[in-house]
Amino acid sequence: MKFSGFKVVKEALTGHKGWTPLWRNPEPKPAYDIVIVGGGGHGLATAFYLAKTFGELKVAVLEKGWLGSGNIGRNTTIIRSNYLLPGNEPFYEFSMKLWENLEQETNFNSMVSQRGIINLIHTDAQRDAYRRRGNAMMLVGAGARLLSRDELKGMVPFLNFDNARFPIKGGLMQERAGTARHDGVVWGYARGADMRGVDIIQNCEVTGFKIEGGKVLGVETSRGFIGAKKVGVAVAGSSGRVMAKAGMRLPIESHVLQAFVSEGLKPTIPGVITFGAGHFYVSQSDKGGLVFGGDIDGYNSYAQRGNLPVVEDVLEGGMALMPMIGRARLLRSWGGIMDMSMDGSPIIDQTHIDGLYLNAGWCYGGFKATPASGYAFAHLLATGRPHETAAAYRLDRFERGYVIDEKGVGAQPNLH
Amino acid sequence: MLIPHPLLGLRDSQEFTYLGDANLMHRPDATAENAEAQFCDYVFQRENPAGVHRELWFHEQGDRSWLVVTRDTTTHEILGAELASNVKLGAAE
């Protein structure tokens, strides 16, 4: 079934009887060429590009719960490529380009909306830092624009420009950034992968790896043993737990990050606004809710819920930045588990176990990376070589001294 | 979260800053043969358990003592807290 405007009209006129399920629910086969552990955004994107771009025919995705039940369904849906360091920026810009063509590629409406992102500037030093970042972005073609205070006043007049502590002096804008519909992304990739023969197996928890002579032979699961020539693990916050089953420790701590959404409002916020100094960022969903968040809680957690101090901190940041937010009611808040790496940057690499590959360490920024993460992981699994934009995301970069530390805070995950 | 400080009773976790796994108290011997590998492990690798976790909290806005707090990372339930200096002394004996 292919989606099109014509199909929508036809179904509307014929009682919507022609729609079919987006993917099958197959029984697991005894063995596959490649098994992906984790049916979230990154895992499904990996399977999609394995099948579509690299022509792999025998691929399975194993998911413990249901598709998109992890962080892909719990994020704040922002896509952007406004990084600084050479190890990161080309990768995120590659991701941005994949976002721009995602809906054509998957034939699924992922509601990619390039409304722009603005990082606010409060001091001269910050303006210098953002000018440098903007230049780094322009070097890879991501585009960036430094906004004056007056320009900004015209675009987002509701901000508190004269806050005593953090007066707004300008901003750095990436016009191609924006938001996407998180569920639409996971469903689009799942459908696209399934259409190309990938078996997506839900309610199938990996309980162990079968490793003999330093080579992985398959995975033990709650639905029996599944053989595999290669196994790729993309389980985000559960990376430590899953890789421990292969006897590995990782340069990762799992932390909780909270997010919030208000009641639906008329369109008020044009794009994404980040207030780094106050630990607050906000955008508005197509449904009208203000979607916002702040920093991680700061302690190890697998609880998928946070505590009140950070709720207060985020809402104080919101009130300081845009006092009108105080008139909106908070609809709900939730937490997700972040795989916080030791330098704040991700890992896409093979492990010391032959045939076992790892995609992890996305911290609180995994959503925007979904397409490129999937593409680069598929590239690595299919060809054995890292994708050119992901070559720095090595697992051994920590011991070799090649960390990619955007914030320069060292091996302290709760500061990234 | 309320942390049961051994000297001061229940204190709000907001008074503390968090460092991480309590194993960070055991700094490797810099003169050992394989010190480089040991320090890599010490600085970068973590157990990161889902469940009971022993971790270091610093009472920054209190008596400025370091505590070893035992906490369940799946529920945030705090199972105990002791002075890190006592833990260190106990380990030395």
Q: Note whether A241 contacts B46, CB cutoff 8 Å.
A: no
Closest CA to A116 of A136, A154, A144, A158: A144
For strand B17-21 and strand B52-58, is the pairing parallel, antiparallel, or unpaired? antiparallel
Q: How far apart are CA A408 and CA A281, in angstroms?
A: 21
Q: Note whether B50 contacts A252, CB cutoff 8 Å.
A: no
Locate all alpha helices (DSSP H) within chain B, ordered by sequence. 35-44, 84-92
What's the burial of A56, exposed, middle or buried (CB within 10 Å: 0-12/13-18/19+)? buried
Where would I find the beta strands (DSSP E) of chain B? 2-5, 9-12, 17-21, 52-58, 66-72, 78-83
Q: Phi and psi at residue A379, in whole multiples of 5°?
A: -60, -45
Cα-atom radius of gyration of chain B, to the nearest Å?
A: 14
Rounded to a whole number, what is the distance in Å from the CA of A411 to chain B's nearest CA?
A: 7
In a mutational test of the A interface, the residue from B12, B13, B48, B58 whose CB has the highest number of chain A CBs within 10 Å is B48
Say if B75 is an interface residue toward chain A (CB within 8 Å). yes
Q: Which among B20, B40, B74 has the least Cβ separation from residue A253? A: B20
Q: Note whether A250 contacts B48, CB cutoff 8 Å.
A: yes
Class in CATH terms, A117-176+253-341 = alpha beta
pLDDT in tens, A10-59: 999 999 999 999 999 999 999 999 999 999 999 999 999 999 999 999 99
Which residue is listed with tokens 């700061």? A298
Please say whether the beta carbons of A95 and A180 come within 8 A.
Answer: no
Say if B37 is an interface residue toward chain A (CB within 8 Å). yes
Say if B55 is an interface residue toward chain A (CB within 8 Å). yes
Q: What is the CATH number of domain A21-81+84-107+182-251+343-415?
A: 3.50.50.60
**What does the pLDDT read at residue A337?**
96
Residues of chain B in contact with residue A338, where contact means CB-CB under 8 angstroms, are: none
Q: Note whether B44 contacts A302, CB cutoff 8 Å.
A: no
Instruction: Tell me the average pLDDT of chain A.
Output: 96
**What does the pLDDT read at residue B93?**
60
Type of residue numbered A381: L
CB atoms within 10 A of CB A390: 26
Q: Note whether A254 contacts B55, CB cutoff 8 Å.
A: no
> Which sequence spans correspond to the domains of chain A?
21-81+84-107+182-251+343-415, 117-176+253-341
| 3-class DSSP assignment, residue A270 | coil
Q: Which two tokens stand for residue A44?
A: 């499904």
Q: Which residue of A lies nearest to B45 if distances are taken between CA atoms?
A: A251
Say if B79 is an interface residue toward chain A (CB within 8 Å). no
Q: How far apart are CA A267 and CA A286, in angstroms?
A: 8
Predicted confidence band of residue A1 (pLDDT cuts 50, 70, 90): confident
Q: Note whether B50 contacts A240, CB cutoff 8 Å.
A: yes
Domains of chain B (ranges; CATH) run 2-92 (3.30.2270.10)
Please say whether the beta carbons of A246 and A286 come within 8 A.
Answer: no
Weakest-pLDDT range from A6-10, A127-131, B28-32, B86-90? B86-90
Those residues with Cβ within 8 angstroms of residue B93's Cβ, 6 or more apart along the chain or in another chain: none
**What does the pLDDT read at residue B73?**
97
Say if B14 is an interface residue toward chain A (CB within 8 Å). yes
Q: How far apart are CA A171 and CA A186, in angstroms?
A: 32
Q: Which among B13, B44, B49 has the least Cβ separation from residue A411? A: B44
Q: Note whether A240 contacts B43, CB cutoff 8 Å.
A: no
Q: Note whether A253 contacts B73, CB cutoff 8 Å.
A: no
Percent of chain A with pLDDT over 90: 99
Say if B85 is an interface residue toward chain A (CB within 8 Å). no
Indicate if the pLDDT at residue B91 is higher than 80.
Answer: no
pLDDT in tens, A299-321: 999 999 999 999 999 999 999 99
Which residue is listed with tokens 């809680």? A297
Indicate if the pLDDT at residue B90 is higher than 90.
Answer: no
Q: Note whether A253 contacts B53, CB cutoff 8 Å.
A: no
Say if B61 is an interface residue toward chain A (CB within 8 Å). no
pLDDT in tens, A79-130: 999 999 999 999 999 999 999 999 999 999 999 999 999 999 999 999 999 9
Q: Phi and psi at residue A344, in whole multiples of 5°?
A: 80, 5
A324-344: string of b/e by CB count within 10 Å (b at 16+)? ebeebebeebebbbbbbbbbb
pLDDT in tens, A156-213: 999 999 999 999 999 999 999 999 999 999 999 999 999 999 999 999 999 999 999 9
pLDDT in tens, A211-229: 999 999 999 999 999 999 9
Q: How many CB pairs under 8 A join A and B?
A: 66
Rounded to a whole number, what is the distance in Å from the CA of B23 to chain A's nearest CA?
A: 14
Say if B91 is an interface residue toward chain A (CB within 8 Å). no
